[in-house]
Amino acid sequence: VGRSWQGAAIDFVLSRTVRDSAALLDVLQVVQPEAAYQTPLYDGSFFDLTKNSPIKKLRIAFTTASPVRTAVSDAAKQSVYQMAKWLEDQGHEVVEKEAPVNGVELMKAYYIMNSGEMNHVIIHLSRGLDRDLGPEDMELMTWALSEAGKSISAADYSESLNGWDLAAYQMAKFHEEFDLYLTPTNADTAPQIGELEPSEDMQERLLKINYLSKTEQQKLIYDMFLPSLTYTPFTQLANLTGQPAMSVPTFITREGLPMGVQFVAGKGREDQLIQLASQIEQSELWKGKVVEDI
């Protein structure tokens, strides 16, 4: 109901079948008068779209390039190429073209919001506990975000949201040409447990964040998140522009690890995602296929 970090945080499900996601979309498709944001209501049933409904020929753009210019594994690239070929075989038009959004600047804008909102969360908790909170009370990354948020002005916050709005405009124009946008879900297979914990050097830098200027603090926050962002550079776009997106399990590496691909649709076009997901679900790709070396 609330703004939930200006709409960047969303709630839905991980489902085993397309019909489960479609049925839940039908249930959740309601008007909430008290909500800060509303989504367009679909004039029909998403669940009915899973019943072998015909799908029109789609024009789909795809990329394997990270929007923040980090490395993308061969497996992630191959998962997209495999899907692109399958889509062409089904009669869809597929074009390699990257979205016209500066991913680095968009993430910087997100981290400004993130810092400010985290500071608000910690202030709220501190009031409830009637005491100050320090790094010993929470994860160090959380504390560092909150401390960086103390330097964020209202103008900084507003400017960061302007960056989101610019990306939303750019994607709206992009979807005038393309129905869907295909990317890897992740840039690599799942990391090892604990792999993304901040290094000792990073921990020392975070503890000294209050000695830095506002610009230096935001640079440190970017560096702090870079290891995890390197794994997941593709999925933030839809969160920040307000677009529907889905990830589907269509690829297994030779080591037996799963990889997914993501489809992003224009605003209000969940129907295209559900229909395409149903088509993919009936194919051999859905359960994942071990591929030959690239």
Query: pLDDT tens digit string along 209-237?
Result: 999 999 999 999 999 999 999 999 999 99
Q: Which segments of 178-260 does DSSP mark as H helices, in order?
A: 200-207, 214-231, 236-241
Burial level of 104, CB count in 10 A (0-12/13-18/19+)? middle
Query: Percentage of residues in the chain with pLDDT exceeding 90?
Result: 81
Crossing angle (nearest 10°) for helices 154-177 and 103-129: 140
Total length of the chain: 294
For the chain, how big is the Rg over CA atoms in Å? 21
Crossing angle (nearest 10°) for helices 140-149 and 200-207: 30
For residue 8, give both structure tokens. 């960047």
Confidence of residue 126 (pLDDT cuts 50, 70, 90): very high
pTM for the model stands at 0.93
The contacts of residue 110 (CB under 8 Å, 6+ apart) are 8, 160, 164, 236, 240
Confidence of residue 289 (pLDDT cuts 50, 70, 90): low
Among 95-104, 137-146, 277-286, the least confident range? 277-286
**Distance between CA atoms of 206 and 203, rounded to whole angstroms?**
5
**Distance between CA atoms of 103 and 125, rounded to whole angstroms?**
32
Q: Kindly list the strands in the beta sheet with 245-252, ordered across the sheet, starting from the edge strand earlier in the chain.
A: 93-96, 59-62, 180-184, 258-265, 245-252
| DSSP per-residue string spanning 7-68 | TT-------SSHHHHHHHHHHH----TT-S---PPPSS-TGGGGTT------EEEE--S-TT
Average pLDDT over residues 70-75: 97
Torsion of CA 28, 31, 32, 35, to 10 degrees: 100
On the question of pLDDT at 110 being above 80, the answer is yes
What are the beta bridge partners of residue 249?
Answer: 260
Region of 212 (left: φ > 0; alpha: ψ -120 to 50; beta: rest) is beta
- In the 8-state DSSP scheme, what is residue 269? -
On the question of pLDDT at 39 being above 90, the answer is no
Region of 7 (left: φ > 0; alpha: ψ -120 to 50; beta: rest) is left
- Quickly tell me which residue has 């921990």 as its tokens: 203
For residue 261, give both structure tokens. 């691909």
Crossing angle (nearest 10°) for helices 200-207 and 214-231: 150
